[in-house]
Homo-oligomer: A and B are copies of this chain.
Amino acid sequence: MVYTEKRIEHALRQGGYKITPQRRTIINAIIHSHEHLTPAEIHERVRREHPGIGLVTIYRTLEILAELGLICEMHAGGNCRSYLIRRPSEHHHHLICSDCATVIDFTDCDLGELERRLSKETSFEISGHLLEFVGLCRKCREKTMAG
């Protein structure tokens, strides 16, 4: 575990944000979960400890944490679903810009060996995988540096 509660709180203070019980609870929920959580899921978990908390607070806290780079937001960009014609037998993956949501496809992922190994070690019969890289495209990097 690299980002501890303390470190995150420190980062928040550095960013000029205040530490509130709500934020503490939200941060803890995220830290202690090893899965990706949607805002609604976070809300649900946080409520057990902090019943009155509003979903709005979750959204606002997540926005700050993402802005500070403390959490990783999947599926960057407001809306999510988009479609592309599929070329048979050409399963592909995405490289997504977390700022402008540009998507670049790539096909060769070379996961066969890893898949075989995992399959052997875990006795799973693996049927597929999801692979996405997230980062900043050149334009957004330049924008950030300029600003």
Residue ranges of A at the interface with B (Cβ–Cβ < 8 Å)? 1-3, 30-31, 33-39, 41-42, 62, 65-66, 69-76, 79-90, 92, 94-95, 97-98, 103-106, 109-111, 114-115, 118-119, 122-138, 141
Add 11 more A-B contacts to A124-B138, A130-B131 (CB < 8 A).
A35-B103, A36-B82, A37-B82, A39-B81, A70-B86, A106-B118, A109-B114, A123-B138, A124-B135, A130-B134, A131-B131
Assess A84 versus B37: contact at CB under 8 Å? Given A95-B122, A122-B104.
yes
Complex Cα distance, B95 from A140, in Å, reads 33
Contact B122 A127 (CB under 8 A): no
Q: Classify the secondary structure of A's interface with B.
A: mixed
Complex Cα distance, B129 from A94, in Å, reads 10
